[in-house]
Structure 1
């Protein structure tokens, strides 16, 4: 592939686990004409961005890697950030991905061109690409979220988010305020507390914490992994199925008592003070929020130089933080461990699909996709880790591999049909989401008694998959072509008379559709015969009405009697009629002799 290619077959966004997995699977499928855009100057995604003290993964290392590229060099059962980043960079080298990556290329706009079935993707550097397919893998944990506390800009000290750690600031001997007690905070608070003069940890809601069974991986274990085929894979399988067994509790919260007992046991063993223990005990079912894993957070909170603050934050002042009880907590540094903007992905992005549909319009009632991968109205566009494809009990890398496989199969389906466009049907997406949200109603995420990033502003769970990761994997093995519209640009270019929206009616049934129509005057009967294709959810139902008359209406025009035929190879229905067409005919130009 030429480095200057501006019309790749596939464009991938992001070089975290998702983007790199997609790139590897493209190469394995024989696809070389692709590019990967990366906003930074280095690969790694969240593992490049998060460099705070103590940063690591809360999924066991032997599970937190690609199944097709096992890492023989993990040093601990739970890997730290430098090791994970090193692994990612080694994968890039091993699969020779660097020639495909464009660093310093942050995407600022996506626009679908209906006339070419290609996307126009522009970067902040001014580069423009016209790929046939876009796979967006920026990840849900890459946009830091900082609450708009009153007076935040007035703080005279240094403030930063944990994902944007300022390593130029020496925290030794300083008073540090940590806002938030989530997954990042439980890792960096114990490290900061070792050197800071004083640390105030501001807790809004306590989290359930399980012990982190971390230890070094021994030299003997590494030797066995390297020398005995299948052993490391067996370790990985044991970890996978131990995590997978927890899904029953997530879907049926009454079964979470065993897990909750383990969390209470850790709290009881590590926190002897009954008052502090009560403050750290959540009032919701375990699993409702993300379950944290740590064996040193509770001890850190009991150091003499650490205070847990539970009064709400009233404002940020020049000197520190004033809480609702009137106390001012002086600080020279504020660290925001307040998580990421997860529920509004693409909310501020320029992403425009078919016929000018913006992602904001498509998701006006909340994020929605089909299998977390495809979005109706956005042809040739695939998401990685999209809505309702995650979970709270499994490695996201497993999910990423399943999604990359699915996208590759969709591309193969396009090639088989000689199609230039693939788009999930609106009805398939609606039905999928109806079932998903019905199944999630009784889950711990929805009914566990907490507010979390799993739920959006409407109270809908836009994050979790309502089942095991194995069941999600099975759904992604083979695309169901009945759920997609596949078409070719060449075929649509033949429909020259009219392309656009219309309405099919049959008795009391009304079906919005998109039509591609042509026609001619038939010399044998002198009448106009019009024909073409019709696309839309509900066309099946209209066709099955049999003897009930069918009409097609376009705009303010008259209803034209119509007949539907069987599906064509693309999954569209043929439609035809005789007489005045439902679309306006172009005026006929007549050559008039000049006298």
Structure 2
């Protein structure tokens, strides 16, 4: 039951839910699993300790999560962990750590009843965590107007994007912010999948969370939704045999 629910909610590309022994490498914030695989995030298939926060995370163990306290609703736990994974992915960070005062305050509470735990599980708060990692000075932020399509609707919107190459999957990941009332309306209407750009550079993207300023975070994997310098390169020489 736990494995099925966890697997249905959580991305398999950046975590492992069946790990045995694993070691976190502080140099690149990656776990090395006992079978040689590597992953940034680790979700252990076991219940959390009594002194952990909600039974899902311990501030002393970055990039590691567990499956809640005994008797916890596994669907709520899985949704909470999925939100943590999404926040980690969108941020481009390599490390996620619960803030120590949050855990200490939680453990001091004498009335940690099930209703309070349920409320906390339902409302993942990125501000309770520290998301950080090595910054890449070569990352370039692109700011331009692009066409965004959602279903049968389309709108021109300002988009700011930055891309980085993930060393684990070898793919280009890009994140950014889309501005405009129409994009926000799509997100408020629970839309998640959009297309950004125009042919031949139109690509699929996902609407993530709404920022504190009311804009919408967008996430994509693969080519950027506009021509790059590599696309413009052409050769005047043909080599034939």
1:372 aligns with 2:55: yes
1:476 aligns with 2:150: no
Partner Cα distance (1:432, 1:36) in 2: 26
Aligned-pair RMSD on alpha carbons?
2.5
Alignment match of 1:134 (pick from 30, 42, 49): 42
Partner Cα distance (2:56, 2:84) in 1: 11
Indicate conservation of the 8 Å contact 2:16/2:42, yes or no: no
| TM-score (norm. length: structure 2) | 0.50
User: Which string of whole-angstrom CA distances, capped at 9 and with x for unpartnered residues, describes residues 157-190 of structure 1?
Assistant: xxxxxxxxxxxxxxxxxxxxxxxxxxxxxxxxxx
Indicate conservation of the 8 Å contact 1:110/1:119, yes or no: yes
Partner Cα distance (1:139, 1:369) in 2: 10
Alignment match of 1:120 (pick from 32, 51, 64): 32
Kindly state the Cα deviation for residue 134 of structure 1 after the two structures are TM-superposed.
0.6
User: Which string of whole-angstrom CA distances, capped at 9 and with x for unpartnered residues, describes residues 341-362 of structure 1?
Assistant: xxxx7xxxxxxxxxxxxxxxxx
2:93 corresponds to which residue? 419
User: Which string of whole-angstrom CA distances, capped at 9 and with x for unpartnered residues, describes residues 301-354 of structure 1?
Assistant: xxxxxxxxxxxxxxxxxxxxxxxxxxxxxxxxxxxxxxxxxxxx7xxxxxxxxx
Indicate conservation of the 8 Å contact 1:402/1:476, yes or no: yes
1:467 aligns with 2:113: yes
Kindly state the Cα deviation for residue 434 of structure 1 after the two structures are TM-superposed.
0.6
SS at match of 2:122: coil
Structure 1: 4+ residue segments shifted above 4 A? none
Kindly state the Cα deviation for residue 139 of structure 1 after the two structures are TM-superposed.
4.7
Partner Cα distance (1:139, 1:403) in 2: 11
Partner Cα distance (1:378, 1:19) in 2: 22
Q: Name the CA shift for 1:474/1:380 in 2 (closer, same or farther; >3 Å).
A: same
Alignment match of 2:104 (pick from 422, 430, 448): 430
2:2 corresponds to which residue? 18
Kindly state the Cα deviation for residue 406 of structure 1 after the two structures are TM-superposed.
0.5
| TM-score (norm. length: structure 1) | 0.21
1:384 corresponds to which residue? 67
Partner Cα distance (1:491, 1:379) in 2: 21
Kindly state the Cα deviation for residue 428 of structure 1 after the two structures are TM-superposed.
1.0
Q: Name the CA shift for 1:473/1:415 in 2 (closer, same or farther; >3 Å).
A: same
Q: Name the CA shift for 1:429/1:35 in 2 (closer, same or farther; >3 Å).
A: closer
Partner Cα distance (1:110, 1:134) in 2: 9
1:179 corresponds to which residue? none
Q: Name the CA shift for 1:474/1:139 in 2 (closer, same or farther; >3 Å).
A: closer
Q: Name the CA shift for 1:376/1:484 in 2 (closer, same or farther; >3 Å).
A: same
Partner Cα distance (1:129, 1:421) in 2: 18
Indicate conservation of the 8 Å contact 1:117/1:489, yes or no: no
1:560 corresponds to which residue? none
Kindly state the Cα deviation for residue 372 of structure 1 after the two structures are TM-superposed.
1.2
User: Which string of whole-angstrom CA distances, capped at 9 and with x for unpartnered residues, describes residues 230-253 of structure 1?
Assistant: xxxxxxxxxxxxxxxxxxxxxxxx
SS at match of 1:422: strand
Q: Which has the higher contact order (CA 8 A, sep 6+)?
A: 1
User: Which string of whole-angstrom CA distances, capped at 9 and with x for unpartnered residues, describes residues 353-395 of structure 1?
Assistant: xxxxxxxxxxxxxx5211211101211100113xxx34xxxxx
1:489 corresponds to which residue? 134
> 5+ unaligned residues in a row in structure 2: which ranges?
138-241
Relative to total residues, which structure has the larger helix share, 1 or 2?
A: 1
Partner Cα distance (1:491, 1:424) in 2: 24
Relative to total residues, which structure has the larger strand share, 1 or 2?
A: 2
Indicate conservation of the 8 Å contact 2:17/2:43, yes or no: no
Partner Cα distance (1:380, 1:22) in 2: 17
Aligned length: 136
Partner Cα distance (1:402, 1:476) in 2: 6
Partner Cα distance (2:26, 2:2) in 1: 28
Which aligned pairs between 1:27-426 and structure 2 lie closer than 5 A?
Answer: 31-33=11-13, 35-37=16-18, 107=20, 109-122=21-34, 127-139=35-47, 367-385=50-68, 389-390=69-70, 396=71, 399-426=73-100
SS at match of 1:490: coil
Indicate conservation of the 8 Å contact 2:42/2:64, yes or no: yes
Q: Name the CA shift for 1:25/1:110 in 2 (closer, same or farther; >3 Å).
A: same
**Structure number, greater radius of gyration:** 1
Indicate conservation of the 8 Å contact 2:16/2:41, yes or no: no
